[in-house]
Structure 1
Amino acid sequence: MAMARVSPSSSARLLPYPLLQSFLRPFSSSVSHLCSSRRRSSPVAAAFSQASLSPHTVSEGQVMEAPSTSSRRPWKHTCLYYTQGKCTMMNDAMHLEKFSHNLMEDLPVSASAADKVKLQKLDYFLILDLEGKVEILEFPVIMIDAQSMEFVDSFHRFVRPTIMSEQRTTEYIAGKYGKFGVDRVWHDTAIPFKEVLQQFEEWIGNHNLWKKEHGGSLNSAAFVTCGNWDLKTKVPDQCKVSKIKLPAYFMEWINLKDIYLNFYSRRATGMMTMMRELQMPIVGSHHLGIDDSKNIARVLQRMLADGAVMQITAKRQSATGDVKFLFEDRIR
């Protein structure tokens, strides 16, 4: 089967969950459908929220409906086969009508907002938001240009556990991704973590962000996470389970919570708190990794437009060493 290597997407006006489920049924039906404190005001806020919203509370898995505007296209859920380079329905008009194949639509940047960005020490940010408690189940990365704030590319893979039994994995996936209606996609596409890292290294290598022979560190780029758990705890634990050495490019990262605290002088416990305080509507499904990564990227864009400078906040001295936190005032 020919595989298309592509950059994904989703968008802006969100649908109620029952309607979203009806859109996602082609994924679930059969493999034959396999796409095989203080509030800081900002003059550029409208470039990212496109509306002034009251704070909302969104429960796990819920899709929030953002207010519509005449400039918005109807929102469509991202084709999760496409994000992994496996969509075989690009010539199917009905499929294209139902699912988005352009992640950039969720991450627009206006010229006026880009003009506000201060000089950054890095060229690219790699927004990472892992999913999975026992083992990693989803590995999504959104690449953003540090100066223009524009979406560059994305990497997205579902991850197949190596020590969980088949029955437990099936039950876990049904509980985790079944509520989004994309559990069939996971079963069709998930690969072991070791293979995910091999493909990821090829991806960052193609973008000239990494060369194994140069020590394995990222070149003028850094991971951005919402908290320290992803790279302090989960990736090292998964590497032990998968019996591989922790790659050098995971040795340092930017915890957006710490940058947010020091820039806005207020604490945010997570992505949803940041978005509520910044009056930004959520795009997609909370706790679907690729959608959470897009929303964290949108918060990052907003902070850059407000004048924030992104800096490394945590660094590990070695693959087995302790993590050194570089900000005195940080989220613990």
Structure 2
Amino acid sequence: LIKVSFLFNHKMSNDTDEKLIESDSSDLSLYSSINSLLPRTIHMELEKDNLCSNEGSDDLEERFYMHLRILDRIRKLKAFAENNPLPFTDYYCVLHFECTCATEKSGKTYSNEIIEFSSLFIHASTAKVLSRFHSYCRPVINPVLSEFCTRSTGIRQENVESAPLFPEVFKHFLQWIKIEKDGKSVAFVTDGNEDIAAYLQKQLLYFNLDIPKELRSWIDLKKAFSDILRVNLLKLSEMLDVIGLHFECTKHCGMDDAKNISRIVIWLSELKIFLQKNAKLSKNGKFSMKLSDNYNNFKTPPDDNGSSFSLKTEELPYLFTVKRSKYYARLRELSSTSDEDDEDD
């Protein structure tokens, strides 16, 4: 993957970009047009958009090609969005967790307890952040944070020692959601699937609690972004770079990550490209334990070393599955259909 970074808000004012995009955006034609340019011309164009490289001419051509393809994709998305209906949901609720960790690669058997719970509530139509929820959570299995965990997340020992246990935080979160949505629809948004499919599910299982039905389906922003802009699956900072926003504040800080995820959601909403649920949890027929949905009444498991956290994916109460979306399928096909329409004209 070639890392793409450009300032989208410059309105594509330079002649070289406009001529190459408007003439023919097919791969073969675009590559041919770029190959006809002198290296110094490509270098100058990339320099305008902070994509300058000291590598060879082949690398410059690849970067310029990717730059033009992204600009062309956004142009087509804007045209597609003109006829878009209302959003698929009334509100988006961005979720992000920070968890305990021993080292950078703690392994799947480590008990990654949620220690920071961050969420932003967004009005889907107006693309405005309406409310925020944030709380630290006190870990039980590994109550003392590792040096690596503190260094990477910025969460200090005193933050978690004075914090409530996870079920208490989760109960308040559900109450907050109920008040904010006021009977209307909400779609949860995460950067990938682990937040809900792994971290949240295992954390609730540890306290013998079931995952609420409304949280068993959500929007995987990473996959949605890939389908919408036709790029490989990217890290959060790379997704921001692609649309010219760049990461703000501190990485791996729960609320900062949630804010940056929200910036992508807002950017797409302002473009009138709406997000639709594309991930879900299905009941695991092999899981027989009875779980409680009473979040007001929970008990800390006695002498539990975190066995629920070490469960394999196929042993969890719910199994992750992809939720198919006809809307994203239409967006994936947008490039080829648009080119065909241009040829018919």
The TM-score with structure 1 as length reference comes to 0.58
Alpha-carbon distance change, 44 to 326 in structure 1, aligned in 2, over 3 angstroms: farther
Q: Does 1:206 align with 2:179?
A: yes
Checking the alignment, whether the CA contact within 8 Å between 1:251 and 1:318 is kept in structure 2 is no
Checking the alignment, whether the CA contact within 8 Å between 1:257 and 1:268 is kept in structure 2 is yes
Separation (CA, whole Å) in 1 of partners of 2:167 and 2:133:
15
Which residue does the alignment assign to 2:305? none
Separation (CA, whole Å) in 2 of partners of 1:180 and 1:231:
19
Which residue does the alignment assign to 1:256? 221
Q: Does 1:300 align with 2:278?
A: no
Counterpart among 121, 124, 141 of residue 91 in structure 2 = 124
Deviations along 1:265-301, one digit per CA (max 9) or x if unpaired, are: 1123221110111121322100001100000000111
Q: Does 1:157 align with 2:135?
A: yes
Q: Does 1:226 align with 2:183?
A: no
- The aligned amino acid for 2:168 is E
Deviation (angstroms), 1:53: 6.9
Q: Does 1:183 align with 2:180?
A: no
- The aligned amino acid for 2:171 is Q
Q: Does 1:193 align with 2:166?
A: yes
SS in structure 2 of the partner of residue 129 of structure 1:
strand
Deviations along 1:150-199, one digit per CA (max 9) or x if unpaired, are: 010011111111222xxxx3342x43235665516613642211101111
Checking the alignment, whether the CA contact within 8 Å between 1:257 and 1:267 is kept in structure 2 is no
Considering fraction of residues, name the structure with more helix: 2
Which residue does the alignment assign to 1:98? none
Greater displacement, 178-187 / 191-200: 178-187
Which residue does the alignment assign to 2:318? 321
Query: After TM superposition, what 4+ stretches of structure 1 lie above 4 angstroms from structure 2?
Result: 37-46, 115-118, 178-182
Taking only the aligned residue pairs, the percentage that are identical comes to 23
Checking the alignment, whether the CA contact within 8 Å between 1:283 and 1:295 is kept in structure 2 is yes
Between the two proteins, the alignment pairs up a number of residues equal to 218
- The aligned amino acid for 2:231 is R
Which residue does the alignment assign to 2:125? 147
SS in structure 1 of the partner of residue 228 of structure 2:
helix
- The aligned amino acid for 1:197 is F
Counterpart among 156, 165, 170 of residue 144 in structure 2 = 170
Deviation (angstroms), 1:127: 0.5
Deviations along 1:37-96, one digit per CA (max 9) or x if unpaired, are: 7999966999xxxxx97479xxxxxxxxxxxxxxxxxxxxxxxxxxxxxxxxxxxxxxxx
Which residue does the alignment assign to 2:248? 283
Which residue does the alignment assign to 2:206? 241
Separation (CA, whole Å) in 2 of partners of 1:327 and 1:156:
31
- The aligned amino acid for 1:141 is S
Separation (CA, whole Å) in 2 of partners of 1:141 and 1:53:
33
Checking the alignment, whether the CA contact within 8 Å between 1:258 and 1:327 is kept in structure 2 is no
Deviation (angstroms), 1:141: 0.5
Structure number with larger C-alpha Rg: 2
Which residue does the alignment assign to 1:23? none
Checking the alignment, whether the CA contact within 8 Å between 1:45 and 1:302 is kept in structure 2 is no
Separation (CA, whole Å) in 2 of partners of 1:147 and 1:249:
21
Deviation (angstroms), 1:205: 1.9
Checking the alignment, whether the CA contact within 8 Å between 1:127 and 1:225 is kept in structure 2 is yes
Checking the alignment, whether the CA contact within 8 Å between 2:145 and 2:157 is kept in structure 1 is no
The TM-score with structure 2 as length reference comes to 0.56
Checking the alignment, whether the CA contact within 8 Å between 1:209 and 1:221 is kept in structure 2 is no
Root mean square deviation of aligned Cα: 3.3
Identify unmatched segments of 5+ residues in structure 2.
13-47, 53-80, 102-111, 285-316, 330-345
